[in-house]
Amino acid sequence: MSAIARTIAVFCGSRLGNDPVYQQVAEHAGKVLAREGIRLVYGGGANGLMGVVADSVIRAGGDVTGVIPEFLSEREKMHECVSELIVTTSMHERKQIMFTRAEAFWILPGGFGTFDEMMEILTWRQLDRHDKPIILVNTDGWGEAVMAMLKTAVRQGFASEQACALLQVVPDVETALACSVWREQGIPVSVDTL
């Protein structure tokens, strides 16, 4: 049985980036999630694109779960207005909670933290730890360098051809929504340790 995911984790920057289009796509993503009744699970910060997505969901009347490590609560400014705020002891615990709660993952523009989250969730899928959709929203070509890196790993013999297919690259949030299909049978498989 398949259905659109009811909880989606969004990985994105704790900064806004240099191009206003990044902020626009983050705001639009929040509106779409709220409109569809999909709970947002995200990194718990009030800054950057993370804060924009959360604020957009909240303004549109949606539900938000923020997950933030205690040591980042000042640096990323914990979002005080989310429906649920979970403070963890480590980055690993944060990622595990986000993974467990999400039925699909959207990757919006971001930096090193976004890359870390994306690569870990991709690796878990490659290792058959889950079969949840992983969708990169290629805003203004942002994801092209990411895909080039993955394709280079394949070309150099460090990953199989099938590995790139684990990540769906889409042009916009509406397509990401259409790809966020949760197949209920055979999932979820929880990750016990990181």
Q: What CA–CA distances, in Å, run from 57 to 16, 79, 167?
A: 17, 13, 25
CA dist 175 and 190 (Å) reads 27
Q: What CA–CA distances, in Å, run from 22 to 64, 128, 155, 173, 175?
A: 20, 32, 30, 12, 17
Tell me which residue has tokens 């889950």: 130
Please return the burial class of 49, using the count of CB atoms within 10 Å of its CB with bins 0-12, 13-18 and 19+. buried
**Phi and psi torsions of 22, nearest 5°:** -65, -45
Where do the DSSP E strands lie in 109-163?
A: 134-137
Please write the tens of the pLDDT for every residue from 80-89.
889 999 999 9
Higher local confidence (pLDDT), 194 or 175: 175
Structural domains for the chain: 2-183 (3.40.50.450)
For residues 52 and 35, is the Cβ–Cβ distance under 8 A?
Answer: no
What's the CA angle centered on 104, arms 162 and 4, to 5 degrees?
A: 110
How does residue 184 score in pLDDT terms, banded at 50, 70 and 90?
Answer: low
CA torsion sign for 141, 183, 53, 126 is negative
What's the CA angle centered on 174, arms 3 and 56, to 5 degrees?
A: 100
pTM (predicted TM-score):
0.91
For residues 39 and 63, is the Cβ–Cβ distance under 8 A?
Answer: yes
DSSP designation for 58: H
Average pLDDT over residues 36-44: 96
Please write the tens of the pLDDT for every residue from 109-139.
999 999 999 999 999 999 989 999 999 999 9
What is the percentage of the chain residues whose pLDDT exceeds 70?
A: 92
pLDDT at 41 over 70: yes
